[in-house]
């Protein structure tokens, strides 16, 4: 498992030399979010697939994008 510093160096290596600071910050935030999610999953934390589907369907129904009962 890489340290955060090693992860940052790997990220910097794959980005073009002319990357903007805004893009760099966005990429760093994205990478950090992924790593946090993976760490949560390893600890058995987070939300399971069924809960995600249930919450997504509730949101879709409340926004009118999904008719009640449809999947």
Sequence-ordered list of residues with C-beta below 8 angstroms from that of 71, at least 6 positions apart, any chain: 57
pLDDT for res 54: 94
pLDDT for res 63: 87
Domain definitions of the chain by residue range: 4-62
What size, in residues, is the chain?
71
19 DSSP 8-state letter: -
More confident residue, 25 or 71: 25
pLDDT for res 1: 80
pLDDT for res 19: 96
Contact, 33 vs 25, CB < 8 A? no
Distance of alpha carbon 71 from alpha carbon 63, whole angstroms: 15
pLDDT digit string, tens, across residues 34-68: 999 999 999 999 888 899 999 999 999 998 887 65
Distance of alpha carbon 70 from alpha carbon 61, whole angstroms: 9
């Amino acid at each position: 498992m890489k340290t955060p510093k090693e992860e940052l160096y790997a990220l910097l290596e794959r980005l073009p030399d002319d990357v903007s600071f805004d893009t760099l910050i966005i990429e760093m935030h994205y990478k950090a979010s992924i790593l946090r999610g993976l760490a949560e999953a390893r600890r058995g934390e987070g939300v399971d697939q069924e809960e995600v589907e249930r919450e997504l369907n509730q949101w879709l129904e409340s926004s009118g994008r999904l008719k009640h009962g449809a999947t």
